[in-house]
Amino acid sequence: MVDLRTLVPDIAQDIRYFGRDNFVGAPVDGYDAPRCWLKREAAEALARVERSLREKHQRLRVFDCYRPARAVAHFMRWAADPADVKTKATHYPDLDKPQLLGGYIAPVSGHSRGATLDLTLLQCDGRDAACTPLDMGTAFDYFGTRANTDSPEATDVQRANRRQLHAAMAAQGFHNYPMEWWHYTFKPEPTPGLLYDVPVTALEEPMSQAEIERLMQPYDGDAPGASLLVRNGPQAGAALTLEAGVTRLGRHPDSEISLDDITVSRRHADIEHTAAGWEVRDAGSLNGTYVNNQRIDRAQLRHGDELQVGKFRLVFFTKSDG
């Protein structure tokens, strides 16, 4: 199994089962990091898909890849709980929960063999900067006939967008599951008879809380003092002071906090001190901004919150709270 970003470092990812934005409504067992792991043959084929799409100013966004068997068991426990229907309106509005078993949720998933993944297609501008998802007619993990790849309930435009994704994936050996426009399996599968249950983790382990406290540096300024402590990567241990106004985080060298890695957008996120406190806002980044493992558009930061920008994990500290 390989991490897809070792082959495509800037692949767009929104790993839904790592957070709460999924049909279970909670982080799923086995997802200890928002990573896409695949068998090497499948990962290399997907890298070829991505290269071919970029010639047309298009890209992929991945929702799920290898899925540990313990995650599938979590799905089954959720499906067996009739009282938990908090995601029904979003994910299965036209079905009763027991109807999800079989076609949508099963005791064994092909994802656990490491050659199946869920994804969508992005259209970028001429500079490959602003990339937005094409309209596929439903969100990821919508359980219903409208999500069927060739569903007559989808519009002509939506079916055409699904066909674009299908053509790109099929050209490199991926086969679609007809009930779900986002679901593809690389064939022949490298290990068709083997299920894995290794948790998905990050390549780099974060520092311990004791190490964070030891490395935290003092800071000064007119605004209530605040800084970000880098937990991983080449800058691990660095305390990055936040400005009194707006602090820009990104790959661009003019950013107040420059994070030099291809997983970080040139203008990734902004942090601003307001009357209500410190607020972080995503700046239209490709890979998203996360606070405490939740993807956000904007959020208030509290002492000890973990901010994720690309591959960087940063802990927010304030002088008034610390």
Give yes or no: 180 in active site. yes
Set 41, 50, 180, 189: catalytic member: 180
Count of residues in the chain: 322
- The pair of structure tokens assigned to 304 is 């000890």
Q: At 291, which amino acid appears?
A: V
Beta bridge partners of 316: 228
Q: What are phi and psi of 312, to 5 degrees?
A: -85, 135
Neighbour tally for 58: CB within 10 Å:
19
Cα angle 165, 44, 31 (rounded to 5 degrees) comes to: 80
Q: Of 315, 316, 314, which Cα lies nearest the Cα of 233?
A: 314
Phi/psi region, residue 102 (left: phi>0; alpha: psi -120 to 50; beta: rest), is left
Radius of gyration of the chain (CA): 21
Beta bridge partners of 279: 272, 300
d(CA 261, CA 258) in angstroms, rounded, equals: 9
CB 133 within 8 A of CB 120: yes
* Residue position matching structure tokens 């402590």: 229
Helix (H, G, I), strand (E, B) or coil at 16: helix
Residue 267: partners with Cβ closer than 8 Å, 6 or more residues away: 248, 250, 252, 255, 283, 284, 285
Q: At what angle do helices 156-170 and 40-54 cross, to 10 degrees?
A: 130
**Active-site positions?**
180
